[in-house]
Amino acid sequence: MLKFHRAVLHHILMTLKTPFAASSGSTFDREFIIVELQDKDGVIGWGECSAFSSPWYTEETTKTAWHMLEDFLIPIVFENHIEHPENVSSLFRTIKRNNMAKAAIEEAVWDVYAKRNNSPLASVLGGKKRKIEVGAAVGIQQSEKELLHTVERYVNEGYKRIKVKISPGMEDKILSPIRSHFPMLPLMADANSAYTLEDLAQLKKLDQYDLLMIEQPLAADDIFGHAVLQKELNTPICLDESITSYRDAKQAIEQKSCQIINIKVSRVGGLTEAKRIHDLCKEHQLPVWCGGMLDSGIGRAHNIAISTLDHFIIPGDTSASSRYWVHDLITPEVTMVDGCIEVPEKPGIGYEVNREQLKRFTLCSKVFKNTFNVNY
């Protein structure tokens, strides 16, 4: 039985090494929330809320997530005795959506649970891999020279596949030089919902680039449109923004809207739902990979843990800490060798949170004490 005495929300601002641009938004100053949760015996778990400063990727923002955590989710976690972290999402049933806020605190519960069992988070989730294969994501660059230089650097560092952001009208400018310089490179493109079915001719032209997949070409709520599009394309469609739950995944599979799913713990509301989607895709032999959210080391640690499940068969976006940050929030930082990240063996997320770094990047934090049942 898990009983929580104290929670702290840390409002963090970290600056990326270089700005990251997608079709619908650009990030340089990365604002997010870290959730610290402490149980009655002093065991501390960590979670990360991936919502951005503005709602360009999903409808959530740092502010909406803070409101959800402070006014709804922390009280629910305090009020209830939690048997197992798998039960947290059902406690949140009365709160609609707000998946990134939910995921942040659910991750922290899983971390506490794993630490109490003296086991790595990967093991308690059922993951067996000792290392995970990873790729790197490249944002929209200022020039062709910068684009090729960036791709080359990641290829030389050993990343197993490269994903590039594309936007309407820029496809050939981005993909053509990469393909001619790296004919054999495992390459994919992410559109972040920038197209509609009216762009069909343009989208069909992407088939020439021999991409592993095209990620989220159409609107997030257009699972039907993706089914129409997939019939027209040879390139497999991978859904990201469209999949916010097990049910979305089931619909997308049944409607043949995609051939691959990008699972993000934050987008689907936590590790439990991520695992359910993984299991469903495994059953349907639909490959999955773990997406990223320009995460700090805490989010990254959760991504590594979930990626150890056996059906994460495509390298994900969980790159090394140094891909994004001069200094990460965790010790040791996440490193990549030969395109792989070793899964930590320590209990819980397997990395220490560096309190000094955390403090350095904290804009403000708020402590919540459990007053629901002070006697336990």
Task: Show binding-site residues for Mg(2+).
Answer: 190, 215, 240
Which H/E stretch holds residue 278? helix 271-283
Instruction: Please report, in range form, the residues annotated as the binding site.
Output: 190, 215, 240
359 among known catalytic residues: no
Binding site for Mg ion (CB under 5 A): 190, 215, 240
Distance of closest approach, residue 240 Cβ to ligand OSB, in angstroms = 5
Distance of closest approach, residue 212 Cβ to ligand OSB, in angstroms = 14
165 among known catalytic residues: yes
Q: Does residue 185 touch ligand OSB according to CB under 6 A? A: no
| Residue 360 neighbours by CB distance under 10 Å | 12
E-state strands within the chain:
4-22, 25-39, 44-49, 131-133, 136-138, 162-165, 187-190, 214-215, 237-239, 260-263, 288-290, 330-331, 340-342, 352-353, 362-369
Distance of closest approach, residue 293 Cβ to ligand OSB, in angstroms = 5
Among 134, 233, 294, 320, binds ligand OSB (CB under 6 A): 294
Q: Does residue 292 touch ligand OSB according to CB under 6 A? A: yes
**CA-CA distance, 18 to 9, in Å (whole number)?**
27
List 102, 160, 264, 275, catalytic entry: 264
Q: Does residue 190 touch ligand OSB according to CB under 6 A? A: yes
Which does residue 293 bind out of ligand OSB, Mg ion, none, counting CB within 5 to 8 angstroms by kind? ligand OSB
List 102, 115, 160, 165, catalytic entry: 165
Characterize the bridge pairing of strands 44-49 and 25-39.
Answer: antiparallel
Our CB check for Mg ion shows the closer of 199 and 215 to be 215
DSSP H helices, 84-218, are 88-91, 99-116, 121-125, 144-157, 171-181, 200-204
* Residues sharing a CB contact under 8 Å with residue 90, sequence separation 6 or more, in sequence order: none
**CA-CA distance, 69 to 107, in Å (whole number)?**
13
Q: Which two tokens stand for residue 199?
A: 């762009």
Which does residue 361 bind out of ligand OSB, Mg ion, none, counting CB within 5 to 8 angstroms by kind? none
Our CB check for ligand OSB shows the closer of 32 and 113 to be 32
Q: Which chain residues interact with ligand OSB by CB under 6 A? A: 57, 137, 190, 192, 240, 291-295, 317, 319
Which residues are identified as catalytic? 165, 264
